[in-house]
Structure 1
């Protein structure tokens, strides 16, 4: 097996404060950590830009203290530096005050005029803990920086982004580069904040990894480290039935969705894949993809009979199925089996008027894959996508994949993965059907629901990223083997 990276822990702002505190209690000096952070910003800055006129914008907290370190360090090596402070120096305290004393130049009041002739901004106004709207002078300065498109490097996170949700608090700086410390925060990865971060650098400032043992970390950036030990690769003694049999529910009007999902399930490892649809659609489903089997439903053969077959290990209901009572019955039947089930599209919308009637039937390994519209039909939202997805998973009892450019995967036990490798080219018809097929195929092999959802999303994004522009859903399927080879 190829070496896979460990899970990438994501820390909330409170968890990052705790990590700092634990590091200090272990014997590290807080001011030395601040100095190391500031010097790290300088190293990143100098790798990207040559000597030029720099304006360092400092806020009143520790983020501003980092800015004072950056300003002092750049001035000491001969760079032309100006510094603007939001607020009054008398309001600085502790390490930020100590850092300000290292700056030997003039501390100017923050103003729009300070931006004149600045070639590069060091943004140290607000850190990841910002939880209020940016207003007044600070907002005017940020908006002017963005309007003038002045190059900018942000300390910790671009000012104006909520570090826990990625939401923009009124306005936020468009950074070219962001330097953060120890671990990423949700706001670095969640939209719309992620669009402001630019090139993200995570630097080590001396906080030991051992502090994570005292922090209840439940959010990770999705990568193979989350699922590789559960991934199924066929052995020499395997046969098609030992690799699982995935059942894809097919509709009578939109058969393409089932075709795409079934091909994805086959590509990712399911030993057998069958499309189950009404017998009237037999000719359509037998017209292509000869490796996919067809099971026709009629008065003699019902969906319950398919579900009861012991060798059928996973079911996908919803894509292209239609909003009919028949599809609702298939959904309920598959859930009753307590086998692995993926519900997408129509299978979710069918329960929009009474979501609890769906949730009460979830007692096995189930994955729900709603896009935003489908999510809103079933669950409450607060604007924090991580919180909302985690709450939805707990409420429904299923693993929930809240799809989008910042897909969130949440398990009922509180685990959360943020998937960020999906390119914009995935905004194409059928890509969601491929994703649901991937997850179903992985479930069919015996993979646990959360790991299957993480793996399916990661493979989906990687396959699309390798292809590039011009991507259509079928191309994702063709790219799956290349991604699997990288895992093996």
Structure 2
């Protein structure tokens, strides 16, 4: 997994590298500008020749300095490049000022409020080098007007490409939330490492479809505080994580138990059980109430069906059987008193447990059950369930940001995991997972696959995670691996996906990983 740096971590890393003599500020700026130009030509090969037009918007800081480098390099490639700046070049930081002066040898710097072009003769490229990852306040109204009229306006975007330098201006680099207004980029060129804002919220929408990370010569990042857990972009697991090598029988790969509810409401539990089986649990049992026994048995083959009338029967069946090492409650569990007792009894077993859907509703309604949660649990709420479970945290996340760093989905998930004392997987187009220590893994929007927006897909995800827990993966790793494979299945299947398809396409995904 690739580590994701906050804006503060990135600034500290650059500062330390410069102070150590490993790099210079001017050198970093030159490589950043080169990286932007390379990424533009890689994304749009037709731009590699001269004769094109660019409008470069430069801000009052080092991001603007990167823009001056881009303008100079394009000019030297035969482009007609025009630079419009926010503020005076005299007030720029030293490195940015040096690059502004180098540009002035080639062409003028015009005030930003003089940007104007006919939409019928719009430039081929607009470079957004206004504000980088350090933005902490909303853009001023005059700047918003320029962005909305000339950068984000529908008319020029048919033939004009917009490239953002490090992050689209107006986005908070730590949350992905727009501080009032933000640039819509066709390409975002990131330096050294992604930031949380590239993956979350509006940043996921603006950035994740076309992002290029460029090396600018910085050494590998090393946290200066070992107590601070990192943030990582989710990645498909190595084949070794999923390979079934060395086991002698099914129990070597765990026994996952999915607990269902009353008759006519068992579909979600069956989806979860199928997911747990496909992902490699050695044995999967679907524990169900007697009135649903025939319904479940008629539609299950490899999944074992176990009659469980209530909490006492559950305890009698599994308390002494340590081979049943992972449980899933919520999909089709029901929300009655019997379901609540089933949750309490399962949690008392202190085994790996996924809580989803109905189980989360009951947990929100009976918050005293939070005391029964333990480190082996994984909670998988969507936005509405998260709001019911953690209303104060959700309220803070929903508030309109007025300054950066804005409160992010990472912040919210970490706070929820710390409070619950277990892993929380906060579902959505950007899925975030965190454990009580603060370790955090993010699925970006591109990994969310729009095809997952279908009934029952979350039940399959719960089953995937339960199956991985049964196989022995720690809770955070099981959640991250399950979420990544879940999205990979959706992408592999594509249009027309329904929840039942997800487990069945998993073998294809496994084969693509070399299994």
Deviates more, 1:394-403 or 1:301-310: 301-310
Structure 2 counterpart of 1:414? 438
Distance change >3 Å, CA 128–CA 393, structure 1 → 2: same
Cα 1:44–1:300 shift into 2, 3 Å: closer
The equivalent of 1:392 in structure 2 is 416
Shift of 1:171: 1.4
Mapped to 1, the partners of 2:373 and 2:503 lie a distance apart of 29
Determine the structure 1 residue equivalent to 2:99. 99
Aligned to 1:130: 135
Cα 1:112–1:404 change in 2 (3 A) is farther
Q: Which residues in structure 2 correspond to 1:453-468 (within 5 Å)? A: 453-468=479-494
State the 1:213 CA deviation.
5.3
**Secondary structure at 1:220's aligned position in 2?**
strand
Structure 2: unaligned runs, 5 residues or longer: 398-407
Q: 1:306-455 counterparts in 2 under 5 A?
A: 306-308=317-319, 309-355=321-367, 357-379=368-390, 380-381=393-394, 382-383=396-397, 384-420=408-444, 421-455=447-481
Q: Which residue of 1 aligns with 2:28?
A: 33
State the secondary structure of the residue aligned to 2:78: coil
Q: Which residue of 2 aligns with 1:139?
A: 144
| Alignment partner, residue 199 of structure 1 | 210
Q: 1:44 aligns with which of 39, 44, 48?
A: 39
Which residue number corresponds to residue 289 of structure 1? 300
The alignment's TM-score, normalised by the length of structure 1, stands at: 0.94
CA-to-aligned-CA distance 1:200-241 (integer Å, 9 cap, x gap): 0001110011x325465600001135x766x25333542112
User: What's the secondary structure of 1:193's corresponding residue?
Assistant: helix
What does residue 14 of structure 1 align with? Answer: 8
Give the secondary structure class of the aligned counterpart of 1:352. Answer: helix
- The CA distance in 1 between the partners of 2:326 and 2:148, in whole Å, is 51
Instruction: Name 2:403's counterpart in structure 1.
Output: none
Out of 69-78 and 315-324, give the one that drifted further. Answer: 69-78
Output the CA distance in 1 between the equivalents of 2:415 and 2:245.
Answer: 39
Report the number of matched residues.
478
1:119 aligns with 2:113: no
Q: What are the within-5 Å matches in structure 2 for residues 36-75 of structure 1?
A: 36-47=31-42, 48=44, 49-50=46-47, 51=50, 52-75=52-75
TM-score of the two chains, using structure 2 as the length reference: 0.89
8 Å contact from structure 2 (residues 258, 286) kept in 1: yes
User: d(CA) in 2 for partners of 1:98 and 1:113?
Assistant: 23
C-alpha distance in 2, partners of 1:449/1:115? 55
Cα contact 2:32–2:216 (8 A) shared by 1 = yes
8 Å CA contact 1:163, 1:188 repeated in 2:
yes
CA distance in 2, matches of 1:237, 1:126: 55
Distance 1:299 1:65 in 2: 67
Contact 2:56 2:127 in 1 (8 A): yes
What is the SS of the residue equivalent to 1:465?
A: helix
Moved more, 215-224 or 277-286: 215-224
Higher alpha-carbon deviation: 247-256 or 113-122: 113-122
Mind listing any 5+ residue stretches in structure 1 that lack a counterpart? 1-6
